[in-house]
Structure 1
Amino acid sequence: MIAIDIQERLSPHISNINEILPRIKKLLRVWRIFKLNILITEQEKLGETLGEIRDILWSNDIPVIRKTYFSCARDSKFLHELKRINPSQIVLIGIEAHICVLQTALDLIEEGYEVHIVLDAIGSRNENDKKVAIDKMTIAGAIPTTTEIIIYELLKSSRDEHFKEILKIVKEN
């Protein structure tokens, strides 16, 4: 999963951030339970990743990639980390949907990755920009999904050893 630019100076300006942020936190907690790879990006000059996100993730094993390009896929450190973890599928969450999420998705699709966009865990300042970005990403080949869909796809069964723990997370508001 790539958590794009969920930063202090940008987040307060995002439409529906109060709905998006809890979903982002759920996804990150579930990713940690399953021990799946997470990359965090920060756009230069927009402050650090939000404290409530850092509280879930901050450890030495999760790289924070500070970038100047809007597309993560144009940053050499990001590409190095992506090559290191070698994913077949990439899940994108974060902000802003019509800038950094969009450009990252398009570049990763062009490079041959299967890209999933968690529609209820991305945001923009303007809802119309988000809608158009979703349309562009989907037309380009990104797979739209939601927080609950992707969590249950990971679980696969109520017999999963993590089911009860994750069910509690899913039911949180």
Structure 2
Amino acid sequence: MPASVKYKRLDKDNAAVLLVDHQTGLINLVQDFTPNEFKNNVLALANLAKFFKLPTILTTSFEDGPNGPIVPELKELFPKSIIPRPGQINAWDNKDFVKAVKATKKKQLIIAGVVTDVCVAFPALSALEEGYDVYVVVDASGTFNEAVRDAAWHRMAYAGAQLMNWFSVACELHRDWRNDIEGLGTLLSNHLPNYRNLINSYLSKPLNKKKG
């Protein structure tokens, strides 16, 4: 890491989550993850937003057209947090969306969406230009193929965005296991089968202790 770059770690008291265009039509364009893998990652990000009580804003693009409505699982989690855009491709061009972001009074924006190179990159670059710290959740964002994805990642990182996955977002927000061992463990276990094995092993330890 260059000396001029400072480690800006996520702070649950200064972060908001933006879920951009996870819509029933657009999600069919995602080819850099399997459907089940991508759904799991998106819901993991949504659930960690709930767990850490982060302000969360959802937005849709032209949902009356082929892009479709927000996926039902996200609507169920955040029924009052959806801002429909009548036509703007860049969410940051929509005044209601920007107003909602500014109303959170958070300077760290955790962004994911479909597709990575447009619906994520455009608002991420716009937010960076306005002085926000932007964290792009790469495994909860999807697009046509890996080449397109990588180009979008490079573009955003070059502009100053930090690229993370949902697991690292959860860990950086939590900071210390002692804050809530079972809470974070349950969150991770619900979305990572291998982690469920780990946490089950941990929870069974008292049963294996020798009697004194």
TM-score normalised according to structure 1 size = 0.92
- 2:141 corresponds in structure 1 to 122
Larger radius of gyration: 2
Instruction: State the shift of 1:66 in Å.
Output: 1.3
Aligned to 2:4: none
- Say what the alpha-carbon RMSD is for the aligned residues: 1.3
Structure 1 unaligned residues grouped into runs of 5+: none
Q: Indicate the SS of the match to 1:42.
A: strand
Three-state SS of the structure 2 residue aligned to 1:90 is strand
Q: Which 5+ residue runs of structure 2 have no aligned equivalent?
A: 1-16, 193-212
2-structure distance, mates of 1:26, 1:168: 11
Answer 1 or 2: which has greater strand percent. Answer: 1
- 8 Å Cα contact 1:25/1:56 also seen in 2: no
Verify the 8 A CA contact 1:70 1:104 in the aligned structure 2. no
Aligned to 1:129, the other structure's residue is in SS state helix
> How far 1:165 moved relative to its partner?
2.3
Tell me the equivalent position of 1:34.
52
Which residue number in structure 2 is paired with residue 56 of structure 1?
77
Asked if the contact 1:14/1:125 (under 8 Å) is kept, the reply is yes
Displaced runs of 4 or more, over 6 A: none
Aligned counterpart, 1:65: 83
1:11 match: 27
Percent identity, please: 24
Q: How many residues align?
A: 169
CA contact (8 A) 2:19 2:57 kept: yes
Q: Determine if contact 2:29/2:115 at 8 Å carries over to the other structure.
A: no
1:85 Cα shift? 0.8
Helix, strand or coil: the match of 1:123? Answer: coil
- After TM superposition, the score normalised by the length of structure 2 is 0.76
